[in-house]
Every structure is written in C-alpha cells, then in structure tokens.
Amino acid sequence: MQPQQQSNWVVAVVAGLLSFVSPCVLPLIPGYLSMISGLSAEQLQERRGSDLLRVFTSCLLFSLGLCAVFILVGIGAGAIGSRLRDYMTIINIIFGAVVIVFGLFVLNLVKLPFLYQDRRFRLRRASVGLWGAPLLGVAFGFGWTPCIGPWLAALITIALNQTAAQSALLFGLFGASFGLCFILAGMVFAYALNAFTFLQRHYRVIEITSGVLLLVIGLLIATQQWDRVSRIFLSLAE
C-alpha cells in the first residue's frame, strides 16, 4: 500500500469529522434526527429501548444514503482524472489554488457569496421516516453547503489523481466518518446536546483548524508536493 494512499484516507476521515462539527451542519443535526426518526427532541433525550432501535435504524439508513452519493462522486472524479493524466500538473495547480481560496473562505478572509446558498433538496415532513431516511441522506449528500463544499473540493482534487476504485473508497471513508458521527449523536442524544453546546462555543477554533488544514493541503497539491510530504509524514508516524 502506498504511503500517500494512507494519508489520503486520513484526510478523508478528518474531513468527515470536521464537516460534521462545522457551524452550518452541527445546528441542523437535532432537526434531522427528529425528522428521520419521527421522535421529538424530548423523546430523543429519554433514550428508551424501543426508541433507540428506531433511532439507530433511521440514522444508519440516512448515513447509507449519504455515503452512496459521495461514493458516486468519488467514482466520477476518479474516472475523469484517469482521462486527464497528461494534464495533471496544471490541474493540480488550478485545483490546489481553488482549495487555498476555500481555506481562506473558511477562515473568513475572503467572501464567496455562491457558497452561502444552501442547495439541499427540501423534503416535507410527511415523506420522512424510516423509509424516507435514506432519501433524506441522498438529499443531504447532494447539498453544497458552505462548510462541506471546501472539504469536498479538496477530496475531489485528491481523487482526480487516483483510480475510480481508490476515489470511491476515499469518498466512502468521508461519508462513513460523517455518518458514524451522525449515528453516535442519535444514540447518545442527551449527552450529545452538551457536546453540541461546547462545540458551538468553540466554532472559531473549528473554523481556524479547518481553514489552516485546507490551506496546507491546497498548497501541497498546487506545488506537486502532496505525495512526497505524505510519505515523510507516514514514515515519521511509524
């Protein structure tokens, strides 16, 4: 297994975690949990045995729908990248610069008005439940929110340099990381509320961490140094 492949996986998992706790995703989680499970916030906090199974099932179905979308994006990015191998140097420069701009956006140093538009599909509450949970996951996956967008741009840039199978795994890990956080939040909702409050108080730290990581990744990709630095980093970690 190539070292850079392992580092790509680490980036995908971290991207999923940071996307979940981002300022424009975390506040939506209680509402999504209520919609897919059919339970109120009070019922979610009570954590009765019969409700826990319903919450787990609905969260799992939601996450599977979410992962399906991201895996398809990964396959598409890998397939496109395989046809552009001769131009990857210039593509890496361009997309690396895009990731850098997104990093500056996350740090609130530049404004990108189009990213403030929420493009998730709207589903009526009547269509949501156990059967609607995966559909809502698909709808959420198609959303291009201000917080998920920059990380997806970074992953797409990495995926363009991989095969379709590798890209599918990369985005699958991203979706699985996000989905696992969602499932855990549903299963321990009463405790998660305290964690949500803590994270909301430290949103700026999360934004700075995400922005700096995006700047570093974008710079390494644009300068064609991502693979070399990945090998060095993993050799030090062994």
Structure-token match 């030090």, residue found: 236
If you average pLDDT over each of 82-86, 122-126, 130-134, 181-185, which comes out highest? 181-185
Total number of domains in the chain = 1
Domain that holds residue 60: 3-237
- Residues 60-99 as b/e (b if ≥16 CB within 10 A, e otherwise) read bbbbbbbbbbbbebbbbbbeebeeeeeeeeebbeebbebb
Residue entry with tokens 């339970």: 39
Q: What is the pLDDT of residue 53?
A: 82
pLDDT tens digit string along 97-141?
988 988 888 888 887 665 555 544 444 444 356 677 888 888 777
Mean pLDDT over each residue of the chain, to the nearest integer: 80
Q: How confident is the model at residue 190 (pLDDT cuts 50, 70, 90)?
A: low
Of 5-14, 46-55, 113-122, 141-150, highest mean pLDDT = 5-14
Residues 6+ apart with CB under 8 A from 114: none
